[in-house]
Amino acid sequence: MIATIRFIDSAVKKTLTAFCATLLLMMVAFTVYSVVMRYVFKNPPIWGDLLTVLSNIWLVFFALALTVRDKDHIALDLIYNWLPLKVAFFIQQFWTAVIFCLGLVMIIWGIEAVATMGGKYWEMWHFAWEENGIVFKPNYMPKKYAVAIVPISGLLVCVAALASIAEDSLRFIAGTYRQAKDLELSE
C-alpha cells in the first residue's frame, strides 16, 4: 500500500514537472516567435503575447502544487532550526494546514469563477465538445478555459498538503522526522 502511494506521488510529481517544463518551453517559443515576427517581419501574431501570459500563469499554478509537496514554499527554516524539533514540527504542520485551506479556497471560488466567467479571447481559437465529438472553433476561446487552472491547482495543492502532513506525521511518530532542508542534504 505504501509503495503504491509513493509510486502515485512520484508519478504526479514527474507529471507536474513535465507540464511545468513544457509550459516554460512554450513561453520561450511564443516570446521568441512574437519578437521575431514583430521586429524582423513587421507582422506580429495577435495571439503571441496572450499565449505567453497564459503559459506563465498555468506554470506558476502547477509549480505551486510542486512546492507545497516538496516543502519548498516560503518557510521559516531559520526559526525552525532554533526551536525544539517537536515545536518546529507542529508549526510546520500548522502552516501546511493553512496552505491546505488556501487550496480549498482555490477550489471553491475557482469553480465559481469558471462557472460565471464571461467573455472570450477574440484572438484565440479553441476546441469544443459537441454532440458529434470534438469540434474546432476558429475564434473566440472562452476566458473560463484560462481560469480553469485555479480549481485544478487548488485540488493539487490540497492533495500535496495532505500528503506532506501525512508523510511528516508518520516520520514524527516513528522518530525519524527532520526538517525539510535537512532531508535534502541527506538524500
The DSSP call for residue 42 is S
pLDDT at 113: 95
Task: State which H helix or E strand residue 136 sits in.
Answer: strand 133-137
Q: Look up residue 84 and give its DSSP letter.
A: -
Report the distance separating Cα 168 and Cα 182, nearest Å: 13
C-alpha cell at position 112: 465559481
- The pTM of this model reads 0.82
Predicted local distance difference test score (pLDDT) of residue 183: 47
CB 168 within 8 A of CB 89: yes
Find, among 10, 15, 5, 4, the residue nearest to 166 by Cα: 5
152 three-class SS: helix
Amino acid at 5: I
Q: Give the count of beta carbons closer than 10 Å to the beta carbon of residue 126.
A: 15
Kindly give the parts of the chain with pLDDT less than 50.
Answer: 182-187
Q: H or E stretch including 120?
A: strand 120-121
Three-class SS of residue 117?
coil
In contact, 169 and 144? CB cutoff 8 Å: no
The residues spanned by each domain of the chain are 2-186
- Joined together, the cell numbers standing for residue 32 give 521568441
Cell 495571439 found at = 47
Cell numbers standing for residue 18 = 513535465
Q: Which three cell numbers stand for residue 184?
A: 535534502
What is the spatial distance between Cα 182 and Cα 180, in angstroms, rounded to a whole number? 5
The pLDDT, as a whole number, for residue 16 is 95
Predicted local confidence at residue 88, as pLDDT: 86
pLDDT tens, position by position, 91-143: 889 999 999 999 999 999 999 999 999 887 766 766 777 887 877 766 677 88
Question: What whole-number distance in Å separates Cα of residue 3 and Cα of residue 22?
Answer: 28
